């Protein structure tokens, strides 16, 4: 399976413009031979939009979700994107997976980061799903979720081979460490692939770390972006290429209850 991960430049664009940009990027991914395209946290309507996120989620969140589903069907490219949605009277910070010909899969972020997110969203209550994409079992997380080892280990124990993570990582020394070190360690310690798609640049509220990456089960980076420029990362995901790593580091097989 060939995966495209998009590091997007933060801006104050309206959701309609953001959706048009996603359409263009999916076309890029398809031209590059990718069958899956992954976008950052709250790609719609933008992570730094503040209280406007609630209004956007109520007014057009499900319309945007339907538009992404149509785009996946028309392009024959599966799409993972961050989006704000209204569910059961509250706003959730969601990762959605749209596969051609399949019903949308929605996961609401469980680990909300900072007072900013906690004032805008209700935390998700359901475990992250595992779905089939291109013959692989894929799990969904959002940003801060992946920094908790328990969540990635849970997905790995349930059979996930790849973990898809839309993120919005504010720039800081700690964020640099997370992007450069924690993400490949999560891949290594669970013997999974991790696709980590971040913003770069700045909006009216945040500057972002960038450093998006696609990490492999041996801890290597199959593709990575810099810290300041938009990028499309492309990687071929072949679990069989990492059999030796799994044999040398059989963490899941050797795990004992504590």
Report if pTM > 0.75. Answer: yes
Q: What is the band of 257 on the pLDDT scale with cuts at 50, 70, 90? A: low
What is the average pLDDT score of the chain?
A: 96
- pLDDT at position 139 over 90: yes
Residue 256's pLDDT band, with cuts at 50, 70 and 90, is confident
Provide mean pLDDT across the span 66-93. 97
Residue 15 confidence (pLDDT) above 90: no
Percentage of the residues of the chain whose pLDDT score is greater than 90: 94
Assign 3-state DSSP to the chain and report helix, strand, coil percentages, each to 5: 40, 30, 35
Can you tell me the mean pLDDT for 28-51?
A: 97
pLDDT confidence tier of residue 118, bands split at 50, 70 and 90 = very high
Q: Which residues are annotated as catalytic?
A: 41, 109, 143
pLDDT tens column, 205-227? 999 999 999 999 999 999 999 99
Sheet holding 221-224, edge to edge: 130-133, 136-140, 162-166, 193-197, 213-215, 221-224
Whether pLDDT at 89 is above 70: yes
Average pLDDT of the residues in 186-209: 97
Q: List CB contacts of 112: < 8 A, sequence separation 6 or more.
A: 93, 118, 121, 123, 144
| pLDDT number for residue 255 | 87
Confidence of residue 12 (pLDDT cuts 50, 70, 90): confident
* DSSP per-residue codes, the chain: -EEEEEEEEP----HHHHHHHHHHHHHHHHHTT-SEEE--TTTBT-GGGTTHHHHHHHHHHHHHHHHHHHHHHHHT-EEEEEEEEEETTEEEEEEEEE-TTS--EEEE-SS--HHHHHHH-PPP-SPPPEEEETTEEEEE--GGGGGSHHHHHHHHHTT-SEEEEE---B-SHHHHHIIIIIHHHHHHHHT-EEEEE-EESB-SS-BB----EEE-TTS-EEEE--SSS-EEEEEE--GGGGHHHHHH--HHHH----
Residues in the chain: 258
């Amino acid at each position: 399976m060939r995966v495209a991960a998009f590091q997007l430049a933060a801006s104050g664009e309206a959701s309609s413009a953001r959706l048009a940009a996603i359409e263009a990027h999916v076309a890029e991914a398809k031209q590059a031979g990718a069958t899956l395209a992954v976008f950052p946290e709250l790609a719609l309507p933008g992570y730094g939009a503040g209280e406007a996120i609630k209004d956007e989620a109520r007014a057009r969140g499900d319309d945007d979700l339907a538009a992404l589903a149509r785009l996946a069907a028309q392009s024959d490219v599966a799409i993972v994107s961050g989006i704000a949605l209204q569910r059961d009277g509250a706003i959730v910070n969601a990762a959605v997976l749209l596969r051609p010909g399949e019903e949308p899969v929605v996961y609401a972020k469980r680990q909300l980061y900072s007072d900013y997110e906690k004032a805008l969203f209700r935390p998700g209550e359901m475990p992250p799903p595992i779905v089939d994409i291109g013959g692989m079992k894929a799990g969904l997380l959002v940003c801060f979720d992946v920094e908790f080892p328990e969540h990635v280990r849970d997905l790995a124990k349930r059979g996930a081979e790849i973990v898809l993570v839309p993120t919005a990582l504010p720039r800081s020394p700690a964020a640099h460490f997370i992007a450069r070190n924690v993400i490949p360690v999560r891949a290594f310690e669970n013997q999974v692939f991790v696709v980590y798609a971040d913003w770069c640049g700045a909006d009216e509220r945040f500057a972002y770390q960038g450093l998006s990456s696609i990490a492999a089960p041996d801890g290597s980076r199959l593709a990575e972006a810099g810290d300041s420029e938009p990028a499309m990362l492309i990687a071929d995901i072949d679990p069989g290429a990492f059999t030796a790593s799994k044999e040398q580091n059989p963490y899941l097989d050797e795990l004992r209850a504590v």
